[in-house]
Structure 1
Amino acid sequence: MSVPPSTSPAEGEAPRSAWYAAAMEQLVPVVEVLSHARTIDAVAGVVTDFARRIAESDGATFILREDGDMGHCVAESAETPQFTGRRFPLESGMTGRVILSGEPVIIGDINNHPWVKPGTYDPEVLTSLAIVPIRRTAPIGAVCIYWRGRSHVPTTEALGVLQALADVTSVAWENVRLVGDLEDKIRRLESQQAHINEQRETLEVFTHALAHDLREPVRTVRAFTDMIVEDGGLPESAVTYFDFVRRGAVRMGMMIDTVYAYTQLHDPSRVRKEACAMDTALSAARENLHRLIEESGATIKCDALPAVEANPGQMMQLFQNLLGNAIRHCRRPVTVTVNALDQDGQWLFRVCDDGDGISEHDIGRIFQPFKRLNLNEEGTGLGLAICTKIIGIHGGRIWCESKEGEGACFCFTLPRAA
């Protein structure tokens, strides 16, 4: 090999040879390759090839610790590999001793060593070896180099280069492990996403059935019930019963429409946003609730509201749900006040009433789907859940501030228009 100029040692350190400087220089591109390795086989191949070449040995093996007390020869660089694929108990051999202790081992003649039973190895297969741990603390494996048919003891410098290689290997192994974990997580996420997409498609089929196939029989029930009542000739009790049927059909139709609207809010990418005057959205909601407002004697007060970047139809639905809840859930004529504040770069909207209020226990569950505080009241239990979905799609949040007997204030935020 070409030998670069020797580098100066640190103070108190023994002078380094030209061989050591050249070996460390050759280690640099190996580190670069290891930093890009993405499999343990690739790491093992690079490490064993370099270890064998730099030590001028007959072979080099890459051992990983498995299941806590077993070693596995992952790779071997040799003209005639002897150990690749072997598994062994760590307590039974020299390599295991290194992995368990974290200390390197050098054996000049393995058949004349107190740790090895005579005749254990054929000198033509293995005579001398040097083993360094991969990671000094809690080793994960070892790099072993060996010589056949000749006794050889590597120099201190050679052992230092091999240990430096092993130290770099531990970092490369950690990178491989992290990449492997990341790829596993990506695969799991992709599998989960595929499952979610499949469920979404199934849900869309179901919601379209709600929107089209189930509406028609509800209309039929209502129509024929009205026709029977209008024809007359029924006893008073029968008229009452048919009124129950008609009201049940009306409620069923409302449930179908509400559930369909709720299920359509799962995909923000489908929501078209534009400049939306919140005054206009509130006016549309009040118009839709005109009959309820008149019959209940409710009063709606409103300050000037800003424009936002939003879906106008959904903003109207948002106000309609909040106003409708405030009116229906109060046993007396209620006053509802709507205003907006510029707060921390976003708009804070408040829909407040002077009604009965909500207990602290109930505030935590009123936004959940199908949760109604009074099962005798009309409604589907999806109004506030729909509001939560709408606000979430628009990048805001919604909450309720209330005390029992002191009215309720529903607050929601929306980003300012760009």
Structure 2
Amino acid sequence: MVMELISFQKLFQMTKVINSQFEMSEILQVFVDAIAGEITQADLVGFFLKQPDGTFQGYKGNKLPVDITELLIDPREDEFVRDILRNQASDYISDTSIDLRLDQSKRQLLKIKSILGIPVIVENDVFGLVFVHDFGKPMNITQEQMEVTEAFVNMASVAIRNIRMFEQRQLLMEKQQLLLDATKALSESLSVKDVLNTFFHYMRKASGSKDIGIHLYNEKEHTIEPYQLSSENVTVDEWKVKHREVKLTIENDRLLYEVITQKKSAAIEDVYADPRPNHKAFVSFDIRSIMVFPLVAKGSVYGVVAIPSIGKPRKYEASILEFCQSISDATATALSNAQHTETLDHSVNERSIELQHANFKLEGLVRELEHLNELKSDFIATLSHELRTPITAVKGSVDILSKGILGGLNDSQKDLLDIASKSIERLLDQVNELLDFAKMENGKFELVYTEADFKEIIKESVHIVQSLINKKKLILVVESDAETDTIVSVDKQRILQILLNLLSNAIKFTPPMGVITIKTIFEETVLTVEVHDSGIGIPYEKQKNIFTKFYQANNQINGTGLGLAISKQLIELHGGRIWFESTEGQGSVFKFTLPKGRG
């Protein structure tokens, strides 16, 4: 009874020690030392860790005559171990010369006469195996010692499970943080180059692989083209050359077909045991295992990420697959946006260059047109001056003849001279218009302001055109809302010129017995003048060009086509504006405003 109490006290103390450790290696070392020194007093205690292929590799021992890490137990060659694994329970061989289940090579190497084997069960699975034995002699182990050892192994199993849970939580937190960091970094990557660098950095961490390739999917051709690579086993050039040799399509690679059409990832641990991949391509790259993830943006797959294991097979955990898929999903959107932005930027740059070239050409044309315009204005000014002198001389001669100073004239001669006089007046008006136009174009035109009674200007303009009004049997009406203060500051001769131009046009385009009305509206600071006619009106398609230089709405009427253009410029020089309203067949009304003070 005292022995049992001492054993349980030791068990309790050692359990406290185990549970105070946080490293798996430290726990297992305390574990084997305690069993050897405190519980069984055995010469040799070894812990063997289960491997992915089902074998058990030596991991920790107290003082074996050989390096325990060099020892490997294969259950296929050791019936004793197979029984422990099958029953998931302890087993004891009291005499290895009679019970031959133990691997004989291990028995001879370690001179095992008797042996206790205990499985370390963690989460209903064998995590490792503990073997207790003496060297070259049978063990003198009691039932109580075996039970205490089993209890201690169970306590150690709990500690190992807790450590594994802690490590898994830590790993999960690290993955979550890595995913957050990757997502943030990708969202801040604006160029394709930055996105790719960020992707490869985080995918290497997530996958544990140094070979990662991005391929783009050509939906029209159904081909998978190499895009970017991060690898220590193959260069980018070699990678692209081999791809050209194989030319992957979704028709010749069912794995890629499923990934792209079903938009889901895939992992294959043995590519040659799976009929879906293109084995020719995998042989070319010496690929043994592979993970493939779709790149999905805006509901469509535009590429895939391939993470192969080159030269050796690899097992894939579901958590790794999910983690890498999350990185791929975040990358897909960032890469698609960056590619679209750079394509758009490239198009904008191309259009900008084209526009710049067009602007250069346009600037050249503008300079050329400006030069031609200057030549035209100089030509018109020179020609007008040259014409005015002989026209004036001819006019004077006609006036002398008309007055009979050189002798009497018969009626026919008087009629001819009258026609000649009117033609000369018209020609002189056109020359004056050309001169005014040339001055305005060259910026040499100046207004001469005077105080004038606008009613007198109206009266003078009516007097000048009265003979034309009478000859065509038109009715001219003058309306004014002003009773006092009709004084304005204007260039009187130029305003008279504008009125005569508008009245002349109204007379030209108004049929006999028609009505022409001049209406003036005086406000506090602005004067508005309207010239109405009941003429033929202006066709709608020609209205936009009415104030254009050298334009005539009716080509059958003689003139320079400058009258309205010059009138517009004169009104604007005064600080006013001019516009019109016209309906074909119903007449027109031209309106202009003038500041009552100096413009």
Partner of 1:173: 339
> Within 5 A, what are the aligned runs for 1:144-159?
144-152=306-314, 153=316, 154-159=320-325
363, 366, 383: which one aligns with 2:564: 383
Q: State the AA in 1 paired with 2:531.
A: D
Does residue 31 (structure 1) correspond to residue 200 (structure 2)? The answer is no
Partner of 2:277: 116
Q: CA deviation at 1:21?
A: 0.6
Distance 1:321 1:98 in 2: 83
Stretch of structure 1 that moved more, 131-140 or 379-388: 379-388
Q: State the AA in 1 paired with 2:430.
A: R
Q: State the AA in 2 paired with 1:104.
A: K
Partner of 2:231: 78
Q: Deviations over 1:36-70 (max 9, x none)?
A: 32xx4454444344434433323333444568435
C-alpha change, 1:97 and 1:117, in structure 2 (3 Å) is closer
Q: State the AA in 1 paired with 2:533.
A: G
> Within 5 A, what are the aligned runs for 1:289-368?
293-297=462-466, 299=478, 301=480, 324-325=501-502, 327-330=504-507, 331=510, 334-339=516-521, 351-356=529-534, 359=537, 362-368=539-545
C-alpha change, 1:324 and 1:247, in structure 2 (3 Å) is closer
Q: CA deviation at 1:203?
A: 1.6
Distance 1:300 1:89 in 2: 90
C-alpha change, 1:262 and 1:230, in structure 2 (3 Å) is closer
SS of 2:277's equivalent?
coil
Q: State the AA in 1 paired with 2:266.
A: I
Distance 2:567 2:302 in 1: 54
Distance 1:397 1:23 in 2: 72
21, 25, 31: which one aligns with 2:176: 21
Q: CA deviation at 1:159?
A: 1.4
SS of 1:365's equivalent?
helix
Q: CA deviation at 1:211?
A: 1.9
Partner of 1:212: 378
Distance 1:282 1:125 in 2: 102
Q: CA deviation at 1:358?
A: 6.1
Q: CA deviation at 1:377?
A: 4.8
Does residue 400 (structure 1) correspond to residue 562 (structure 2)? The answer is no
264, 281, 293: which one aligns with 1:104: 264
Q: Deviations over 1:277-326 (max 9, x none)?
A: xxx8997999999975542257474779xxxxxxx99xx99997688335
Identity, in percent, stands at: 10
Distance 1:319 1:64 in 2: 78
Q: CA deviation at 1:260?
A: 8.3
Distance 1:27 1:131 in 2: 17
Q: State the AA in 1 paired with 2:264.
A: P
Q: Deviations over 1:333-358 (max 9, x none)?
A: 7333355999xxxx999653331256
Distance 2:278 2:518 in 1: 93
Distance 1:117 1:71 in 2: 12
Partner of 1:273: none
Distance 1:357 1:52 in 2: 87
Distance 1:53 1:318 in 2: 86
SS of 1:192's equivalent?
helix
Choose 1 or 2 for highest CA Rg: 2
Q: State the AA in 1 paired with 2:433.
A: M
8 Å CA contact 2:213, 2:226 repeated in 1: yes
8 Å CA contact 2:481, 2:522 repeated in 1: no
8 Å CA contact 1:401, 1:408 repeated in 2: yes
Q: CA deviation at 1:30?
A: 2.0
Q: CA deviation at 1:132?
A: 1.7
TM-score, with normalisation over the residues of structure 1?
0.63
8 Å CA contact 1:351, 1:411 repeated in 2: yes
Does residue 251 (structure 1) correspond to residue 413 (structure 2)? The answer is no
Q: Deviations over 1:379-403 (max 9, x none)?
A: 5168369959x99xx9x99663657
TM-score, with normalisation over the residues of structure 2?
0.47
Of structures 1 and 2, the one with the larger relative CO (CA 8 A, separation 6+) is 1
Q: CA deviation at 1:18?
A: 2.0
Distance 1:65 1:284 in 2: 84
SS of 1:373's equivalent?
coil
Figure out how many residues of one structure are paired with residues of the other and give that number.
Answer: 364
C-alpha change, 1:402 and 1:136, in structure 2 (3 Å) is closer
Distance 2:450 2:198 in 1: 67
SS of 1:57's equivalent?
coil
C-alpha change, 1:365 and 1:203, in structure 2 (3 Å) is same
Partner of 1:130: 292
The CA RMSD over aligned residues, in Å, is: 5.3
Distance 2:580 2:553 in 1: 16
Identify unmatched segments of 5+ residues in structure 2: 1-170, 402-412, 444-448, 467-475, 484-488
Partner of 2:19: none
C-alpha change, 1:181 and 1:239, in structure 2 (3 Å) is same
8 Å CA contact 1:129, 1:146 repeated in 2: yes
C-alpha change, 1:99 and 1:225, in structure 2 (3 Å) is farther
Partner of 1:307: none
Q: CA deviation at 1:183?
A: 3.5
Distance 1:249 1:117 in 2: 95
Distance 1:263 1:102 in 2: 75
Distance 1:23 1:281 in 2: 86
Distance 2:307 2:453 in 1: 83
Partner of 1:372: 552
Distance 2:587 2:500 in 1: 17
Q: Deviations over 1:138-166 (max 9, x none)?
A: 33434443332234444222212222221
Q: CA deviation at 1:135?
A: 0.9
C-alpha change, 1:335 and 1:134, in structure 2 (3 Å) is same
Distance 1:147 1:385 in 2: 86
C-alpha change, 1:397 and 1:254, in structure 2 (3 Å) is closer
